[in-house]
Structure 1
């Protein structure tokens, strides 16, 4: 995992991935990251990226976490599933929010699709671009755990 600091190369790289139409950065980082975790995550059934809201997806053209997941998938030879969880609420950017505000901002923004009720014994690798407070990943993780899944988490960087 990379360390995200203000005005760093990592910040520039992630900014390019997220805002400058460079999804190939996510692919590259996913493939590289897969090399370092391949031995540890041998029982994962699927890789699930944190979803972005459909309006953001239309505007950006891609989900940066999904691009990272695709690279991980190639390197780990584990399928990506982008249909298990949806982002049902368009939340505002978390970049300027406090820890508590981040948790409030993502409360109940995700939903498992209605036909998904039992994920017992399914091991999910939940992926996102940046881990700051853990609010986003925890919100999604809780849904999967409640459905019976085992969840492991990977992010490109930690703030």
Structure 2
């Protein structure tokens, strides 16, 4: 009976995929049975940064120099306008493809486990929070799904009950660095201080641009007593 059920379920899944095929977030073509989120061609063509091989690169850390001490920064891929990564991030944030965030982060986590020692320097992962009104609007926080994907592949806990966004702020997309900082400098606070006290915390987000949001988060986390703050993101703009 169980085998019959499996057979019928398989037919149903195949029929559903035929009517509503899962599409690649990079090129919008149908994915094959063994592909997730991106087709093989788009995944091969991801513009990987390899920053995890040199996470203490001063050129990258200079983004925060004189503002807040950041232990390390690493992003999986480069973000370019009109490229595969922009389409990927757009799908994750605005088309409901939240599981794609978890999958991509898992890919990056496995890469970190194989080719980096960063995992040994992380005690807890924390996604940049959304304000509750934006969370209701979108239905999920993509940064939490990224943190979950990294958590599962790195075997490091993630928490969604520590960093809090207190006030709703308009989109950062078209703001310069000063405007972004002014927009977020008093937005975040920390609950459950005991969960991060003395720990190496890593702030997780989808895209690192000017770093203003990360900076605001890091300041609050360090004030709350964490030992250090690192940064992991899916994407980063070219410096």
TM-score range with shorter-chain normalisation? over 0.9
User: Shift of the alpha carbon at 1:43?
Assistant: 3.5
1:100 paired residue number: 178
Residue among 216, 224, 227 paired with 1:139: 216
* Aligned partner of 1:24 among 79, 95, 99: 99
Corresponding residue for 1:45?
Answer: 123
Structure 2 segments unaligned to the other structure (5+ residues) = 1-75
* Residues 75-103 of structure 1: per-residue CA shift (max 9 Å, x gap): 01111100011100101001111111011
Backbone CA RMSD of aligned residues: 1.4
Length-normalised TM-score, structure 2? 0.63
2:110 matched to which residue of 1? 35
1:108 & 1:33 partners in 2: Cα distance? 31
Structure with bigger gyration radius: 2
1:144 positional shift? 1.1
Report SS of the residue matched to 1:42: helix
Runs (4+) of structure 1 exceeding 6 A deviation are none
Give, in angstroms, the shift of residue 73 of structure 1.
0.6
Match of 2:165 in 1: 87
SS at match of 1:136: helix
Q: How many residues align?
A: 158
Unaligned regions of 5+ residues in structure 1, if any?
none
* 2:92 is the alignment partner of 1:14: no
The TM-score with structure 1 as length reference comes to 0.94
Higher helix share: 2
